[in-house]
Amino acid sequence: MADFTALFGAPSARPPPRPSAPPPEAAPPSKKRKRQKGKKPAAEPSAAAAPAPAKKSAGDAARAQLAGARFRHINELLYTQGSADSVALFEREPGFFDAYHEGFRLQAARWPVNPVHLVTRWLRAQPETWVVGDLGCGDAELARSVPHRVHSFDLVANNERVTACDIARLPLADRSLDVAVFCLALMGSNYVDFLREARRVLKPRALLKIAEVSSRFANLPAWLAMLDGLGFELLDRDGSNSHFLLFTFRKRAAAPPPSPVAAVPLKPCIYKRR
């Protein structure tokens, strides 16, 4: 599985390194880091750029370590299991959702750019009359940041803007959206169901906006061919930042051929355990 430590950062609380070991800020170079040598340093989220951590008590450190471990565990489940199991997980353990999002926010704060801000900027330039679906919305930051009418969906509703549902089965009528957004939300082994569902709720020739971690795409041409087979025409692909890819697709008016489309898996973003 891919090592996304360079992107998502290492857990904040770790045992102090042995004297001979490199400090946490200089984690042993992974393959990813090596490949990025020579690239613009500003693009890499670095501990050096982060404010110096306040001194923690042993209790604080243990709590942070536990929270980090729990976050990584939930994250791994969300990426590797089917969405019905994720629904069941949060029903069983409602507190896991906040634990996940707290960890997610901490990680996002370290990124050179947060893709939800890129999607926000893009959407602000689109007609305000558009009806938007934010599928896998987290805490609905997008809805708070644009003038459009936004339907925000996530597995758990952690504020009043969010409707709880599995985005494999949206509580929306056919052909009701002008744009469907998946911002880091293609999680789950059945994520292709989310795309099919997006196609159902999009109006003919409406747009599909996807932002994802670049390194999830083990085979980008095959993935794009799959999207084409699902009835989405690629309009734009933005790879201008080092960590995320943004795509704009248009729903073809004609239904895709009935032949089944083989799912192209995306790599899960698994955090390295240390």
Residues in contact with ligand SAH, shown as a per-residue x/- string from 177 to 216 under the rule CB under 6 A: ------xxx-xx----------------------------
Question: Binding to ligand SAH by residue 44, rule CB under 6 A?
Answer: no
Q: Which long-range contacts (CB under 8 A, 24 or more apart) does 95-98 make?
A: 96/70, 97/155, 97/156, 97/158, 98/158
Which residues are CB-contacts of 95 (< 8 A; sequence separation ≥ 6)?
A: none
Least distance from C-beta 28 to ligand SAH, angstroms? 28
The correct pick among 154, 178, 197, 212 for binding ligand SAH (CB under 6 A) is 154
CA angle, residues 123, 4, 236, in degrees to nearest 5? 30
Give the range of 46-54, 58-66, 153-161, 227-235 binding ligand SAH by CB under 6 A: 153-161
Smaller CB separation from ligand SAH, 166 or 178: 166
- Mark the segment that binds ligand SAH (CB under 6 A) among 51-59, 69-77, 78-86, 266-274: 78-86
The least distance separating ligand SAH from the CB of residue 107, rounded to whole angstroms, comes to 10
**Minimum CB distance to ligand SAH, residue 110 (Å):** 14
Round to whole Å and give the CA distance between 243 and 103: 19
For the segment 112-151, give every residue that binds ligand SAH (CB under 6 A).
115-116, 136-138, 141
Please state the closest distance from residue 70 (CB atom) to ligand SAH, in A: 15
Are 211 and 115 contacting, i.e. CB atoms less than 8 angstroms apart? yes
Residues 6+ apart with CB under 8 A from 274: 10, 11, 14
Contacts 24+ apart (CB under 8 A), 70-74: 70/96, 70/99, 70/103, 71/99, 71/100, 71/102, 71/103, 71/104, 71/271, 72/11, 72/103, 72/270, 72/271, 72/273, 74/99, 74/100, 74/103
78 contributes a contact to ligand SAH by CB under 6 A: yes
Binders of ligand SAH among residues 155 to 174 (CB under 6 A) are 155, 166-168
d(CA 3, CA 270): 6
Shortest distance, position 133 Cβ to ligand SAH, whole Å: 11
Residue whose CB is less far from ligand SAH, 27 or 133 = 133
Residues engaged in binding ligand SAH (CB under 6 A): 78, 83, 86, 104, 115-116, 136-138, 141, 153-155, 166-168, 183-185, 187-188
